[in-house]
Amino acid sequence: MSFGRFGARLVSLFVLACPWALAQRVFVLPDGASSQTVVAYAPPTMSPAGTFLGAAGPTWGVISNPAGTRLFALANHAVDALVVVDPNLVVQSRSGTWNAGAVAAQLTPDGQKLVVVADVLRVFNAATGEPISTMAVGSNLVDVAVSFDSRYAFLLSGGNRRLYKIDLTGYRVVAEQPLPGELTGVALGPNGLLYVSATNRVFVIEPETFVPLYEIALNGLPGKLAFTPDGRYAVASNAWPATLSSGWVFDLAAHVVHSTIPVVILDGAYVLMDPRTWVVANDRALFISRDSGRIYQITLPTGAIAPLSVPGLTNVRALAVTDEYPARYVYYATETTLGQLQLNGNLVTGTASLSFVPYAVAYAAPASVGPAVSAIQYNDGQALNPGQPPKPLILRALDSNGRPVFNAPVVWEALDPAVSIESASSSTNLDGLAYARVSLGEVRGETKVRARVGVGVVVEFTLTVAGAVYEGPRIRIVSGQGQLVGDTQALFNPVPMVVQVLDSEGQPLRGARVRWSVVDGSGTLMEAQETTDEQGKASAVFAPQMVPLGGSYVQSIIRASYENEHVDFYFTAFATTTPLGGVAPYPSVELVKPGPGAELVGKSGEVLRDAVLVRVLAGTGDRTGQPIPNVGVEVSTGLELPNPVAQCVGDVALTGGTDGFAHCDLQVGGLGRAPLRIVIGGGYRRFEDRFLRVTPGDPARIVILQGNNQSGEPNQLLPQPLVAEIRDGAGILLPGAGAQWEVEPAGAATLLDVVNIADGAGRVSARVRLGSTPGTVIVRVRSGAAVASFSLNVVLTATALVKVSGDGQTAITGQAFSAPLVVMLRDAQGRGVPGQTIQFEVTAGSATLSSATAVTGSNGEAAVSVTAGPTPGDVTVVARYGTLEPVSFQLHVRLPGPAVTARSFVNAASGQPGVVPGSIAKIVGPGLARGVSGCVLPVSLVGPLPLELAGVSVQFGTGPSSVWAPILYVCNVPWEESVAIQVPFEISPGQISVTVRASGGATTVEDVTVLPVQPGIFETVGPDNRRYAVLTRPDGSYVSPSNPARRGEVIRLYATGLGAVEPPTHTNHVGLGQPVRATVVVGVNDAGVRVLRAIYAPGMIGVYAVDFEVPADTQPGLARPFALAVVGPDGNLIFGNGSAIPIQ
């Protein structure tokens, strides 16, 4: 008897199986050639969780929709580039044949659509996987990003070298931005800006206006940017390591490269970054070295690299990272192993053997729905100039595990009545992000905007509007850029090069020291002024060298420097004499666009793309007829506002590029018609026979002048009308512009005396009568794409504070109560009073509040969440408002019970969910083994198993008919707390309530599934790290690679989950060799074998023995396929976990 009980425990401890976690899965992805099978594993034990057939090419990603009801497998192969499966990994649809495979994909942040980049842009329904739209835009598509509000996709085309802005409602291109060089990726940063990676630079683009704001210069070809959780830095690899950098760390606030990640030699091999980089924390990023296959970490922001300290981890082929902020786990794949790596301590906490060499690894999980317990802020602490629009205020809501919370309500509130918010309420998107756009009006100094996320999470954004602080360049070119002169004429009528130095307020700086130097080419600087005059200007004249005989021209670069900034002038001298002393032909000018007498027409504030095209061709020498680069083109009308004005974007356009043309994008403003002055080469040629006509611009900005942030009683006519003025992109007022007014919520106010056609001063207005519903009312005025929001408030007089919900709850020590405490502030008519601050206080017991105050919402309700303290007992929380009668909540704190659900109950051998009467099950969950280190076994090796062990007991059912489960062990091993039990024979298949008691607390799970059979093969791990079935030979020795089963032998298998026996036995009784009622099937080498008998194992508890014969003609090998199945009540085979058997 003692050996039998001890043997039962040993068998049970061979495997610490984990329940199959349907919520989160890790996918090992095939290359499509050696295998097409996508294999899923369940963290943290990495037990197999199913398979499905992918594409015939490399599968590179798996994406889950927010609910986890559809998974999308993506492959870079034209056939079945998209495979849609359900949570059980049953294929629902395949994409069929496209012209090319998928290269990028993203769920829209609202979780409703999947956007796939392939031969064309393809959009699918994220709930069903059904196609919605297909758009042929550009060629050689590279990547895609989607706006926070899911309205626009930003599609990167490598063939057209453009970034397209696509409306995902009407499925049309609404804007496009040409970008030079090779384009490798587009990413939307948490600060709300787009980052496009290209040859030798990263473009920073504002997604609303779709205008490039900055270019971050570098030397190489950067990959797609990956951002730190706090949004401060980004990391990208370099595809051209010959430039002596492996990658870069970018400072997103300063828009510069903060540090270069070097190319180094470690352990005798070059460390070169894989194209993909994983940022896992604010100070840490990971990558795989292309040469060594090792994981390296980058210290941020310094860019220092070092091997990740995990002994023996080499030949890594792929990584995937979980979605917490910061990330908690990394999943890695070598050629033979999938592993889970805990980033806190770099601990390997689970592994699985792989049957094929993986192409990639993917992590997929449904979205978290909270509750939110914290938030990360982006674009906080902005310092602004007067009139400068602030960047959007952005937050990311996180749950208690650090995962982004989807669809959490967010209420925005300006603490200064002069500040308006475009939309006072929003919800977080799939990335946990919510944003608000604010208008500061005439506010100066510091102002705050408060955001309330769900219940209890409150953050404040600080914005500071200073006096006119100038943040632009401190030195700029005034004139003289791109001169073209004859080499013998430069000194006759020299055109000076003029710069201007500005102070910190953007005003001319007198007495500043300017340094002039020739940094390329030859020539002499003359009359160089090194100190700025009263206008902040300094100038110099340049005398170029003579063009060598037979040459066409020579070029020089002259640099003007002030402190740590500089500007460069390009100067071209052309040959004026031939080698024989004659007069050489001068360079010719081709003004291709606009033609003679042509009239350019544009709206005020508009940029006319490629409005002026000019090329200059050499007239003599070795480059006759070839384009001359870096010749300046200046365009103007010579007038000032409000007359028509124009200039090239960047002031001067330079000839060059592949076609030799200067491309002048013409910024126009003012109103009216005037001749254009087109000056080439600083006066070399002039054209004044073209014209410009400027018409009123489209509305681009609506400025609130009066009426914002008023408050009034229900149905009151507000004293101030709402007044705003409409301006175009150049700031010109637009009399006659049309406007539309709207109220949110609809019917919350009535607009009177509405002026919706701007008067002579460009103004529109309306009076407002408030409605009867208290709370915030938003009145929006729109004109074209411009919009402004007035925030108004309907206020009530409070007469009572009443309790709504949350009373009488019980929570475990140290954990949050399940529901918030909610009160309502009412007026005399019983209406909720919004916008008032309620005080909350714990007056008795052990608990903490999420906040000591809460502001009533639009319905008059205010809420706080409560977290139980360390001491059990009763808790009293009191809510107060002014002199009104306070409200008390009575709560209770108890000791913790284990955190278990129905999915915590699994077959101890197979890890499959559910339990079988009489068999061994394992319960897995936090709180089961507090204070236990390792495993606790029963003290005695003889006698029945205990019904309580290490403070743990398990009760099946309730009342007099309930049964207590015998306990085999209680374990607390890294990242798993578990209990092994014998499931009582006395329960019946179906659903049952189970109460688990541990550490003085109790948890009742109502819906544990009881199955009639569910076979599970006990396994052990061999010296080769493979899992083998627990088997014995006729001499009683265990089967192993060194002691394999012999063909023709009768082998005994140890299993559990085979169900009822005949005659019946009872819980906690050892087996007597009773036959199993169900028919048992054993498979070796994928073929059925002769089963001699299946019995309840003699001397053991919860363990079954199956004797079978190894066929004499079966194939030998060290790890042959082995299977166990039972015929279920419906006649179908129910298979257990697959395993392996060594056969000689």
92 Ramachandran zone, left/alpha/beta (phi>0; psi -120 to 50): alpha
Q: Could you write out the three-class secondary structure of 927-944?
A: CCCCCCCEEECCCCCCCC
Is 21 a residue whose pLDDT tops 80?
Answer: no
Closest CA to 848 of 864, 822, 866, 862: 866
C-alpha 593 chain-centroid distance: 45
Radius of gyration of the chain (CA): 37
Residue range 153-162, pLDDT digits in tens: 999 999 999 9
Label residue 472 by pLDDT band (50, 70, 90): low
Rounded Cα gap, residues 4 and 658, in angstroms? 85
Please state the domain extents for the chain.
2-15+897-1010, 374-465, 470-584, 585-695, 701-794, 800-892, 1016-1143
DSSP for 669-722, written as a single string? ESSEEEEEEEEETTTTEEEEEEEEEEEPPPP-EEEEEE-TT-EE-TTPBPSSPE
Rounded Cα gap, residues 697 and 604, in angstroms? 4
Is 375 a residue whose pLDDT tops 90?
Answer: yes
Is 573 a residue whose pLDDT tops 90?
Answer: yes
Decide: 202 and 194 in contact? Cβ < 8 Å: no
Which residues on neighbouring strands pair with residue 817, listed in sequence order? Answer: none
Residue range 304-363, pLDDT digits in tens: 999 988 887 888 999 999 999 999 999 999 999 999 999 988 888 889 999 999 999 999
Query: Where is 863: in which H helix or E strand?
Result: strand 861-864
Task: Determine the pLDDT at residue 292.
Answer: 76
Task: For residues 1114-1126, give the mean pLDDT.
Answer: 95
Is 731 a residue whose pLDDT tops 80?
Answer: no
Q: Is beta strand 810-812 parallel, antiparallel or unpaired with respect to 887-894?
A: parallel
Label residue 15 by pLDDT band (50, 70, 90): very low
More confident: 926 or 866: 866
CATH topology for 701-794 is Immunoglobulin-like (2.60.40)
Task: Determine the pLDDT at residue 104.
Answer: 97
Residue range 1044-1056, pLDDT digits in tens: 999 999 999 999 9
Instruction: Choose the weakest-confidence range: 75-84, 142-151, 720-729, 960-969.
Output: 720-729
Task: Determine the pLDDT at residue 653.
Answer: 93
Is 942 a residue whose pLDDT tops 70?
Answer: yes
Task: Determine the pLDDT at residue 471.
Answer: 62
Q: Could you write out the three-class secondary structure of 284-307?
A: EEEEEECCCCCEEEEECCCCEEEE
Q: Is beta strand 382-384 parallel, antiparallel or unpaired with respect to 457-465?
A: parallel
Label residue 670 by pLDDT band (50, 70, 90): confident
Query: Where is 989: in which H helix or E strand?
Result: none
Give residue 89's identity as a one-letter amino acid code.
Answer: L
Q: pLDDT averaged over the chain?
A: 91
Query: Where is 905: in which H helix or E strand?
Result: strand 905-907
Is 269 a residue whose pLDDT tops 80?
Answer: no
Task: For residues 163-180, give the mean pLDDT.
Answer: 92
Is 13 a residue whose pLDDT tops 60?
Answer: no
Biggest CA–CA distance in the chain, Å, is 123
585-695 and 1016-1143 share one CATH topology?
yes
Task: For residues 399-403, give the mean pLDDT.
Answer: 89
Is 833 a residue whose pLDDT tops 90?
Answer: no
Rounded Cα gap, residues 198 and 180, in angstroms? 8
Q: What six digits make up the tokens of 589?
A: 């000018």
CATH H-level superfamily of 374-465: Immunoglobulins (2.60.40.10)
Is 468 a residue whose pLDDT tops 60?
Answer: no
Is 1034 a residue whose pLDDT tops 90?
Answer: yes
Rounded Cα gap, residues 1063 and 1086, in angstroms? 32
Residue range 513-564, pLDDT digits in tens: 999 999 999 899 999 999 999 999 999 999 999 999 999 999 999 999 999 8
Task: Determine the pLDDT at residue 467.
Answer: 60
Q: What six digits make up the tokens of 295?
A: 């994981």
Decide: 432 and 367 in contact? Cβ < 8 Å: no
Task: Determine the pLDDT at residue 927.
Answer: 84
Rounded Cα gap, residues 633 and 482, in angstroms? 8
Is 9 a residue whose pLDDT tops 50?
Answer: no
Rounded Cα gap, residues 1054 and 1094, in angstroms? 10
CATH topology for 585-695 is Immunoglobulin-like (2.60.40)
Is 436 a residue whose pLDDT tops 90?
Answer: yes
- CATH number of this structure's domain 800-892, picked from the four choices 3.40.50.1370, 1.20.1330.10, 2.60.120.620, 2.60.40.10: 2.60.40.10
- CATH number of this structure's domain 470-584, picked from the four choices 2.60.40.10, 3.40.50.300, 1.10.10.10, 3.40.50.1820: 2.60.40.10
DSSP for 1049-1089, written as a single string? -EEEEEEE----BSS---TTPPB--PBBSS-EEEEETTEE-
Long-range contacts of range 438-442, CB-CB < 8 Å, 24 or more positions apart? 438/390, 438/393, 438/414, 438/463, 439/389, 439/704, 439/788, 439/789, 440/384, 440/389, 440/390, 440/465, 441/703, 441/704, 441/708, 442/386, 442/418
Task: Determine the pLDDT at residue 17.
Answer: 32
Count of Cβ atoms closer than 10 Å to residue 486 Cβ: 19
The dihedrals phi and psi of 226, each to the nearest 5 degrees, come to -120, 135
Task: Determine the pLDDT at residue 371.
Answer: 86
Is 20 a residue whose pLDDT tops 70?
Answer: no
Residue range 625-662, pLDDT digits in tens: 999 999 999 999 999 878 899 999 988 999 998 889 99
pTM: 0.49
Task: For residues 870-874, give the mean pLDDT.
Answer: 88
Task: For residues 570-581, give the mean pLDDT.
Answer: 94
Task: For residues 884-908, give the mean pLDDT.
Answer: 90
Is 407 a residue whose pLDDT tops 70?
Answer: yes
CATH topology for 2-15+897-1010 is Immunoglobulin-like (2.60.40)
Count of Cβ atoms closer than 10 Å to residue 412 Cβ: 24
Rounded Cα gap, residues 767 and 789, in angstroms? 14
Task: Determine the pLDDT at residue 45.
Answer: 78
CATH topology for 1016-1143 is Immunoglobulin-like (2.60.40)
Kindly list the strands in the beta sheet with 553-562, ordered across the sheet, starting from the edge strand earlier in the chain: 483-486, 565-574, 553-562, 515-520
C-alpha 902 chain-centroid distance: 31
Is 975 a residue whose pLDDT tops 70?
Answer: no
**Residues 6 or more apart in contact with residue 506 via CB below 8 angstroms:** 468, 470, 472
Give residue 818's identity as a one-letter amino acid code.
Answer: S
Task: Determine the pLDDT at residue 1053.
Answer: 98
Label residue 19 by pLDDT band (50, 70, 90): very low
Label residue 445 by pLDDT band (50, 70, 90): confident
More confident: 245 or 1010: 1010
What whole-number percentage of the chain has pLDDT above 70? 97
Task: Determine the pLDDT at residue 836.
Answer: 83
Label residue 877 by pLDDT band (50, 70, 90): very high
Task: For residues 957-980, give the mean pLDDT.
Answer: 91
Residue range 172-228, pLDDT digits in tens: 999 999 999 899 999 999 999 999 999 999 999 999 989 889 999 999 999 999 999
Task: For residues 289-316, give the mean pLDDT.
Answer: 88
Task: Determine the pLDDT at residue 5.
Answer: 34
